[in-house]
């Protein structure tokens, strides 16, 4: 059997790992990129489903790293069927006027520029194949914005703009581009929220619960598959109906 292959950036974090496992459960070989997190634990989990897993270190904001990672994954598996651009960082909650240049640049470089670089590399590859799916991870903050997380909100709004524009550019080649905008998801990135803050968000959520990484993984997987073959340029919000 010829297995499909998914490339997931930031594949060792909460959402990245859950997404990798979702694809592995469904028979995909999985390529992970990581920057500083040790990928061994995630690799072992993925291989337990009887599929192959390959990890490559990559700084998503570095053009040469992105090109090298794609080349290594294609060399290893022979093909990529889907690219999930998940790698991203949060910012400390301060007003924009209190942010220094380096803090601003770091968030934009990773969350927006890095996602653009990965989309560019995926586009080159998929256009030649005349097929493929790109799924970008945005955020509910990219949809609604959030005070004291202005740069993060802007970077994630940019990901949605990228998704919509690129879908128009490469749809004619049979390539789909979509995004997922998670709400409050219980991962390492949200560990800094106090219990009181989490409870406030839970109460402001229509489903009266906080999200799990698997909730996001399920949406990503759907968009990657043929079940979503007539969906492109969309941003699916996975927030449980967050009202704020």
> Which residues are known to be catalytic?
152
C-alpha distances in Å from residue 163, one per residue of 5, 45, 79, 137 = 21, 30, 22, 10
C-alpha to C-alpha distance for 48 and 220, rounded to whole angstroms? 21
Among 21, 15, 83, which Cα is nearest to 47's?
A: 21
3-state SS, residue 92: coil
Among 174, 166, 160, which Cα is nearest to 235's?
A: 160
- 235 C-beta neighbours (distance < 10 Å), count: 17
């Amino acid at each position: 059997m010829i297995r499909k292959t998914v490339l997931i950036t930031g594949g060792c974090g909460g959402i990245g790992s859950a997404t990798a496992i979702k694809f592995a459960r469904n028979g995909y070989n999985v390529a992970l990129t990581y920057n500083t997190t040790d990928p061994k634990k995630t690799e072992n989990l993925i291989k337990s489903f009887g599929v192959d897993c390959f990890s490559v270190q990559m700084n998503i904001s570095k053009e040469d790293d992105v090109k090298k990672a794609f080349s290594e994954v294609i060399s290893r598996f022979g093909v990529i069927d889907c690219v999930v651009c998940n790698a991203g960082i949060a910012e400390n909650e301060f007003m924009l006027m209190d942010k220094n240049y380096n803090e601003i640049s770091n968030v934009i470089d990773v969350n927006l520029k890095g996602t653009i670089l990965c989309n560019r590399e995926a586009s080159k590859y998929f256009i030649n194949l005349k097929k493929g799916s790109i799924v970008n991870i945005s955020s509910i903050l990219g949809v609604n914005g959030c005070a004291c997380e202005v740069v993060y909100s802007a970077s994630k709004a940019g990901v949605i703009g990228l998704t919509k524009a690129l879908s128009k550019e490469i749809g004619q080649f049979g390539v789909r581009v979509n995004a997922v905008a998670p709400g409050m998801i219980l991962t390492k990135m949200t560990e800094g929220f106090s219990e009181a803050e989490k409870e406030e968000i839970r109460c402001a959520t229509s489903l009266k619960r906080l999200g799990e990484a698997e909730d996001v993984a399920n949406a990503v997987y759907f968009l990657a598959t043929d079940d979503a073959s007539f969906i492109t340029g969309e941003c699916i919000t996975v927030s449980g109906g967050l009202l704020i």
